[in-house]
Each structure stands twice: as structure tokens, then as C-alpha cells.
């Protein structure tokens, strides 16, 4: 491990002048070299280097909705709630925020109520685990479901890098399945399951973002959802539903979450308060009401309890202060985030239309025909995928940032298996002010035109 043969002069000295031991990357878990884990760092780094660029890169929520946040007030509201509902004194309630808390969470009752009210998901506080963002929910769920090296997670391709990264850390093999414009392609899913079984593997679960997937924006209608659930039953699969962009649907058009349609307990539902409330508290959740038989002393438990056991060795518990901020927001809004979601949805829909209009304006039909530039118009979410007539990658992104002052995400970051998305870029419209969207698309059009003709 210590590379004693390296001359000391070749090692950068630490601040204290010591020469630290060196490691080789081959001595570390292979995940650290996986593209899924490198891409997020790369994107953060390039945004930091070009702070004045218009960035279509990050899928972060728009800060305008932070204006009415008031952390001390939310903490107070949650303390009031604890006093009212749990018979605690104010001091005892305060202690709940400062001391260690239950690993499964402190606001499970409020979250279960919100899921029932806002999403039609009937569940109990005991089936909910509060997590450090949706990412921890994904990781602990995959860690639980990966029992042997044969267990496989099915993901759409393109798809969210976070689920692939979590699978890498859990040493869980993934099987990428091409995504259709309607999300999961059930025929492809069944074919993949058959092929996996023929190869001696066990398809355990399929990850699904039914509402406006990241990066494609694909959405599944009710028929597609029902077909997916039926396939899950027949293929003996669990569905890991990620509801992160569901709130951006027009309220009257939002299909029921898979979990609300789930008649046979196939769905493990995951969500986050990051986009609807704020990222700075990192509060997510997982609903896992499946029964697990074969406990050491006999009897059964909820899968949520098994996820809680895993969480106890990853983060012990989600910070009580963070949970209390979300708890306070929920209490203040009468247990429902529907009104807040509707306001956010209206804003993001406006941004989406603005981006689509700017694309129409800067890439008129003649130019689109000539250069083969094209895009689909999603009905929600945070993203539009642009296809261009030349290959794009991280190197070209750097050119775009330096010479044209505009950032985007190369779509190849969202392909875990074979090469893909080579001529595509993901444009995020969530984070930008509307006028910056216009400016950004003008810059992008300039870049694409010059790149297309080889200037």
C-alpha cells in the first residue's frame, strides 16, 4: 500500500510536511471509478469553473420558492405539533430535536398522512422510513434486495445516474432496458427478464420514474402503469417507484402513482421533499409495506423494518432538525403539499413552455430540417432532451462553456450499458429565471449552428 519506492520529492507534501501513504485505485472498490459516480463530480466541477455561463445542467429547484421558507418558524410549528399530538411538554419536544431519534424517522405519521391526502397512497407510519434524501432510500433498498451476485436490477436506458450509482455501491448488477417514449416498455422488460433467467440470474426489481423521467421526460399513462404492474406480478418483480417529478403534472391530469394502483404489494415507493420544499434538509422517504417472513425468532416483519436495520448502519437516523423543518412545513400546510405543488407546477410549466418556445424560435423549421436538430415536448418534469447533428461529450461541453457561455449535460452520462445518447444533450429548465432561458437558448443555438457546420 505504501509506495516506498517513490522518491519523496515526487509526492506533494501535506501541510505538515508529512509524506502520506499512497494507495492505488485498484485497491479501492470498483465503484469509485464508475462513470455513474464520476459524472456528478464532473458536472459540479465544470459549473464551478464557469459561474457566468447560463446553465441548463443542474436539476435543482428554482430558488424563488425558498423565499417563504422560515426555518425557525417551521421548527416551532413542529414543536407545537409534538406538544399537541404526543402529550410532551415543550422542553420534552425540544429534546426530540436535539437528541438521537428513532432510526425509522420522527415524522412518519405526517408523511403517511401526506401520501394518503396528496397521492392516494394508503399506508401506515410503520411502513415508512424517513431517509437522507431519496438517494439513501435507493441505496438502502438496493442493499436489502441484493442478496446474492445473481440478483439484478432493471433500469431504463437512458435513466437516472443516481440509481445506477447506488446499485454499483451495493454490488448489484444492473440490466439496462431501452426506454420507450411512454416510459417502461413492458415487452422489452419481459424479454430482459427472460434473458436474465436463461443466464441464471434473478431479476429482483425494476426502477421506474413514471412521471417525467430524468433525463428523457417520458411519462407513463394509466394503461402503461397497469401493464407494468401486471408484468411485475407475472415476472415476480418488485417495482421501485421514484415519484420525484410527479408534482409537476397538471393536477387534473396526474395519473395515480403506481403505489396507489398496487394490488399485490409489488411497489416500493420512494420520494423526496427536495423539489417541493428544499434540498438543504435532505429529507426523503421510502414506503415498504411488503411482509418479510423467516425472522430469526419466527414471525414476520415489514420490509420497512429491514430497511431501518440497514439505515442504522449507514446514517443511524435522518437528522431530527431536518425532519422537523419538513414536519413544520407539513403541519403549517394542513398536512398536504398539494397547494404548494400546484404553485411550483405552474412555475415549472411556464419555464418548460418558455424553453420549448425559445427552441422553436432559435431553431426554426428550416434549420431543424437542414441540421437534423430535434426534441420532444414533455408534459412536465425538469428536462428536455435535444438531439443535435454532431457527437457531444464532456470535452465539447467544455468548449460550449468556454466559448459560448452555456452549459448542458451530455446524454451519455445517462447510459449505463452500451454507448448511447451520443448526439444528445439534456437541458434542465428548473433552475433558471425565464429570461435566462431565452439568453441560454440563443447561446446554445449559436453553438449548435457553428458546431454543425464545423466552424
Interacting residues with its own copies between 74 and 113 (CB under 8 A): 75, 94-95, 97-103
Binding-site size for its own copies (CB under 8 A) equals 112
Closest contact distance (angstroms) between CB of 144 and its own copies is 5
Closest contact distance (angstroms) between CB of 303 and its own copies is 6
Q: Judged by CB, which is closer to its own copies: 51, or 454?
A: 51
Closest contact distance (angstroms) between CB of 363 and its own copies is 30
Q: Quick one: which H or E segment has residue 12?
A: none
d(CA 121, CA 344): 21
Show the binding pattern over residues 346-375: x = contacts its own copies (CB under 8 A), - = does not: ------------------------------
- The set of residues, in sequence order, having a beta carbon less than 8 Å from that of 383 and lying 6+ positions away, is 59, 212, 214, 215, 216, 217, 426, 427, 428, 429
Closest contact distance (angstroms) between CB of 138 and its own copies is 8
- The set of residues, in sequence order, having a beta carbon less than 8 Å from that of 158 and lying 6+ positions away, is 179, 215, 216, 411, 414, 415, 420, 421
d(CA 290, CA 424): 39
Ranges within 14-33 binding its own copies (CB under 8 A)? 14-16, 18-33
Q: Which of 115, 220, 320, 411 binds its own copies (CB under 8 A)?
A: 320
Cis peptide before 388 (omega within 30 of 0): no
Ranges within 187-216 binding its own copies (CB under 8 A)? 204
Ranges within 236-295 binding its own copies (CB under 8 A)? 236-238, 262-266, 274, 278-283, 289-295
Q: Judged by CB, which is closer to its own copies: 55, or 451?
A: 55
Buried b (16+ CB within 10 A) or exposed e, 258-290: bbbbbeeebbbbbbbbbbbbbeebbbbbbbbbb
Show the binding pattern over residues 127-166: x = contacts its own copies (CB under 8 A), - = does not: x----xx-xx--x---xxxxx--------------x--xx
d(CA 79, CA 159): 40
Q: With CB under 8 A as the contact rule, which of the stretches 180-188, 209-217, 304-312, 435-443 interacts with its own copies?
A: 304-312
d(CA 243, CA 272): 8
Q: Judged by CB, which is closer to its own copies: 94, or 333?
A: 94
d(CA 90, CA 94): 6
Which strands sit side by side in the sheet containing 409-410, from one edge to the other? 374-375, 383-387, 424-428, 409-410
Question: End-to-end distance of the chain based on CA atoms, in angstroms?
Answer: 49
Q: Judged by CB, which is closer to its own copies: 95, or 342?
A: 95
Closest contact distance (angstroms) between CB of 17 and its own copies is 9
By CB under 8 A, tell whether 377 contacts its own copies: no
Bridge-based pairing of strands 383-387 and 406-407 is unpaired
Closest contact distance (angstroms) between CB of 116 and its own copies is 9
Show the binding pattern over residues 53-72: x = contacts its own copies (CB under 8 A), - = does not: -----x-xx-x--x--x-xx
Ranges within 160-179 binding its own copies (CB under 8 A)? 162, 165-166, 168-169, 171
Distances (CA, A) of 165 to 33, 96, 445: 11, 33, 32
3-class secondary-structure state, position 133: helix
Rounded (5°) CA angle 127-304-298: 110
Q: Judged by CB, which is closer to its own copies: 92, or 357?
A: 92
By CB under 8 A, tell whether 300 contacts its own copies: yes
Closest contact distance (angstroms) between CB of 383 and its own copies is 16
By CB under 8 A, tell whether 309 contacts its own copies: yes
Closest contact distance (angstroms) between CB of 102 and its own copies is 7
d(CA 195, CA 166): 23
Q: Judged by CB, which is closer to its own copies: 39, or 243?
A: 39
Amino acid at each position: 500500500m505504501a509506495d516506498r519506492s517513490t522518491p519523496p520529492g515526487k509526492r506533494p507534501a501535506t501541510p505538515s510536511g508529512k509524506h502520506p501513504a499512497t494507495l492505488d485505485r485498484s485497491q479501492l472498490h470498483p465503484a469509485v471509478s464508475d462513470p455513474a459516480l464520476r459524472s456528478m463530480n464532473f458536472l459540479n466541477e465544470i459549473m464551478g469553473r464557469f459561474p457566468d455561463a447560463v446553465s441548463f445542467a443542474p436539476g435543482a429547484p428554482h430558488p424563488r420558492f425558498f423565499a417563504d421558507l422560515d426555518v425557525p418558524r417551521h421548527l416551532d410549528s413542529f414543536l407545537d405539533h409534538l406538544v399537541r399530538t404526543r402529550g410532551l411538554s415543550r422542553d420534552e419536544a425540544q429534546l426530540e430535536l436535539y437528541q438521537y431519534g428513532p432510526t425509522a424517522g420522527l415524522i412518519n405519521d405526517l408523511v403517511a398522512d401526506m401520501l394518503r391526502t396528496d397521492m392516494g397512497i394508503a399506508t401506515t407510519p410503520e411502513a415508512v422510513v424517513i431517509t437522507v434524501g431519496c438517494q439513501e432510500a435507493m441505496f438502502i433498498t438496493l442493499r436489502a434486495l441484493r442478496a446474492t451476485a445473481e440478483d439484478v436490477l432493471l433500469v431504463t436506458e437512458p435513466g437516472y445516474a443516481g440509481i445506477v450509482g447506488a446499485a454499483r455501491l451495493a454490488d448489484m448488477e444492473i440490466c439496462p432496458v431501452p426506454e420507450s417514449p411512454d416510459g417502461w416498455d413492458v415487452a422489452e422488460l419481459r424479454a430482459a427478464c427472460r434473458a436474465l433467467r436463461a443466464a441464471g440470474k434473478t431479476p429482483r426489481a425494476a426502477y421506474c420514474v413514471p412521471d417525467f423521467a430524468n433525463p428523457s421526460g417520458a411519462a407513463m399513462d394509466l394503461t402503461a402503469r397497469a401493464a407494468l404492474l401486471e408484468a411485475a406480478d407475472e415476472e415476480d418483480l418488485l417495482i421501485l417507484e421514484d415519484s420525484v417529478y410527479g408534482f409537476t403534472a397538471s393536477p387534473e391530469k396526474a395519473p395515480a402513482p403506481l403505489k396507489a394502483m398496487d394490488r399485490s404489494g409489488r411497489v416500493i415507493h420512494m420520494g423526496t421533499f427536495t423539489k417541493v420544499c428544499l434540498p438543504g434538509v435532505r429529507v426523503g422517504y421510502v414506503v415498504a409495506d411488503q411482509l418479510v417472513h423467516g425472522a430469526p425468532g419466527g414471525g414476520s416483519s415489514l420490509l420497512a423494518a429491514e430497511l431501518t436495520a440497514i439505515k442504522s448502519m449507514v446514517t443511524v437516523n435522518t437528522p431530527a432538525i431536518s425532519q422537523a423543518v419538513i414536519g413544520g412545513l407539513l403541519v403549517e400546510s394542513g398536512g398536504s403539499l398539494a397547494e404548494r405543488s400546484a404553485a411550483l407546477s405552474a412555475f415549472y410549466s411556464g419555464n418548460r413552455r418558455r424553453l420549448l418556445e425559445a427552441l422553436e424560435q432559435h431553431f426554426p423549421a428550416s434549420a431543424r430540417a437542414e441540421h437534423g436538430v430535434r426534441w420532444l415536448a414533455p408534459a412536465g418534469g425538469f428536462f428536455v432532451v435535444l438531439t443535435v447533428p454532431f457527437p457531444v461529450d464532456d470535452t465539447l461541453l467544455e468548449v460550449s462553456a468556454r466559448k459560448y457561455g452555456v452549459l448542458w449535460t451530455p446524454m451519455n452520462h445517462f447510459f449505463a450499458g452500451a454507448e448511447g445518447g451520443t448526439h444528445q444533450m439534456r437541458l434542465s429548465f428548473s433552475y433558471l429565471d425565464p429570461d435566462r432561458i431565452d439568453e441560454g437558448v440563443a447561446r446554445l443555438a449559436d453553438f449548435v449552428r457553428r458546431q454543425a457546420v464545423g466552424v
